[in-house]
């Protein structure tokens, strides 16, 4: 006689197990622990039992549906117990190969090739914009539409450049999944042209000589922290990226050779960068050396000498001087130097090398980081003298390269 919900609810657990039959091999096993659905069947002349779930999590109706599915598989020559094991194993493998886990594996394998600031941006982008939406999805089941839905969320907040970078990262992760045997193809390739073009952002910079002179005078009158003031004054003399400036360490400077050598692991392209130091830059460094020279960083945080100054320190100092973000940024000293050095006739290749711009051939770049060094030494000293003349409000000196 088929079971009823009332009979199941009223069945009391006892020390001695007993069964309540529902017919066609299915029954409810009741013991001192709980109530369990079971299905007895024969496959290849062997008697077997299939677990269908626990009551009340699995209701009577659900148990009967599972019995129906199991009997159907038997009719098709499939052992329900073996089928259940395969499904369980497949689910486990899918979870182990989720997009997030594969992405984290890809990140760990590649992060040693990136500078810290670059790797931080990648993992932050994945954790904020991608993992919450598709992180748990098996990477082999990911579709182009899944990725597009993530990109549309980013695009909706008008972060088109971030959406492009997110698409690029998804493609890199999927290609890694392909070569490691966990995906058939890179489905992100189907999204080519799906995003609006990214408009490149140019860092605000002052390039008019008269206005540069005004900026330099304002910087020399800065009334904030002495460490910040020194970083602010050194920035235009070396025109490095802001992160490279604030992470400067005393061990990287050699006053005898008048050089600052930034290790490759701090550089965007992962290649050592040499900055010839002008007499003005050395004088400024000697000025701050009594204060921070015994610490690791030239420009330490005002909270602890174990960490460099905040990434917004120079930017905040410019704001205090009255320069809005549309006028000048810490990165703008690079555009300033590039524009004026080119206008004054210095060799374009020497300028590009001094800016540490990417070299299309990374192997060549690794061996040629000291390329154009005699020209660069002359250029960096001329640049410092040129800035001095602008700050003094006198006629700028002429370059020998012009």
Closest to 228 measured CA to CA, from 320, 139, 140: 320
Phi first, then psi: give them for residue 28, nearest 5 degrees.
-105, 120
153 in active site: no
Catalytic residue among 88, 307, 357, 364: 357
Closest to 134 measured CA to CA, from 103, 99, 107, 168: 99
Catalytic residue among 66, 273, 334, 353: 334
Distance CA(319)–CA(6), nearest Å, equals 75
Q: Report H helices in 271-329.
A: 279-292, 313-320
In which order are the strands placed within the sheet that holds 273-276? 253-254, 259-262, 273-276
Catalytic residue among 67, 331, 353, 376: 331
303 in active site: no
386 in active site: no
Catalytic residue among 73, 182, 233, 241: 241
118 in active site: no
Identify the three-state secondary structure at position 312: coil
Closest to 376 measured CA to CA, from 258, 252, 199, 202: 258
Distance CA(370)–CA(357), nearest Å, equals 13
41, containing H or E segment? strand 35-43
73 in active site: no
**Hey, what are 196's tokens?**
């609006």
Distance CA(233)–CA(299), nearest Å, equals 12
286 in active site: no
Catalytic residue among 111, 268, 296, 319: 268
- Cα–Cα distances in Å, from 223 out to 26, 183, 184, 317, 336? 85, 58, 61, 10, 24
Checking DSSP bridges between strand 253-254 and strand 46-55, what pairing results, if any?
A: unpaired
Q: Which residues are catalytic?
A: 241, 268, 331, 334, 357, 367
């Amino acid at each position: 006689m088929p079971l009823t919900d009332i009979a199941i609810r009223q069945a009391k657990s006892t020390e001695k197990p007993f069964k309540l039959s529902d017919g066609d091999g299915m029954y409810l096993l009741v013991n001192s622990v709980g109530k369990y659905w079971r299905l007895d069947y024969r496959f290849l002349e062997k008697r077997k039992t299939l677990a269908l779930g626990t009551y009340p999590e699995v209701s009577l109706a659900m148990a009967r549906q599972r019995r129906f599915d199991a009997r159907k598989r038997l009719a098709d020559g499939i052992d329900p117990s073996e089928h259940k094991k395969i499904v369980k194993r497949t689910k486990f493998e899918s979870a182990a190969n989720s997009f997030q886990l594969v992405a984290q594996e890809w990140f760990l394998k590649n992060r040693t090739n990136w500078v810290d600031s670059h790797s931080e941006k990648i993992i932050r982008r994945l954790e904020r914009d991608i993992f919450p939406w598709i992180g748990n999805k098996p990477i082999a089941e990911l579709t182009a539409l899944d990725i597009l839905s993530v990109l549309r969320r980013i695009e909706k907040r008008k972060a088109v450049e971030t959406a492009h970078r997110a698409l690029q990262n998804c493609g890199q992760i999927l290609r890694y999944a392909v070569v490691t045997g966990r995906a058939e193809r890179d489905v992100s390739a189907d999204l080519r042209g799906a995003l609006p073009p990214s408009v490149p952002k140019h860092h605000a910079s002052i390039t008019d000589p008269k206005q540069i002179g005004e900026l330099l005078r304002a910087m020399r009158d800065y009334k904030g922290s002495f460490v910040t003031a020194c970083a602010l004054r050194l920035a235009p003399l070396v025109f490095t990226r802001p992160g490279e400036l604030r992470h400067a360490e005393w061990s990287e400077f050699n006053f005898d050779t008048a050089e600052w050598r930034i290790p490759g692991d701090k550089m965007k392209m992962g290649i050592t960068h040499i900055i010839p130091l002008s007499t003005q830059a050395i004088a400024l460094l000697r000025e701050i050396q009594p204060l921070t020279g015994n610490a690791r960083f030239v420009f330490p945080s005002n909270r602890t000498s174990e960490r460099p100054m905040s990434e917004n320190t120079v930017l905040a100092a410019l704001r205090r001087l009255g320069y809005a973000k549309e006028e000048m940024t810490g990165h703008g000293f690079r555009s300033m130097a590039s524009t004026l050095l080119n206008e004054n006739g210095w060799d374009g290749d020497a300028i590009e090398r001094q800016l540490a711009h990417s070299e299309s051939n990374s192997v060549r770049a690794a061996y040629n980081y000291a390329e154009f060094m005699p020209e660069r030494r002359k250029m960096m000293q001329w640049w410092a003298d040129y800035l001095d003349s602008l700050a003094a409000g006198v006629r700028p000196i002429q370059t020998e390269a012009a």
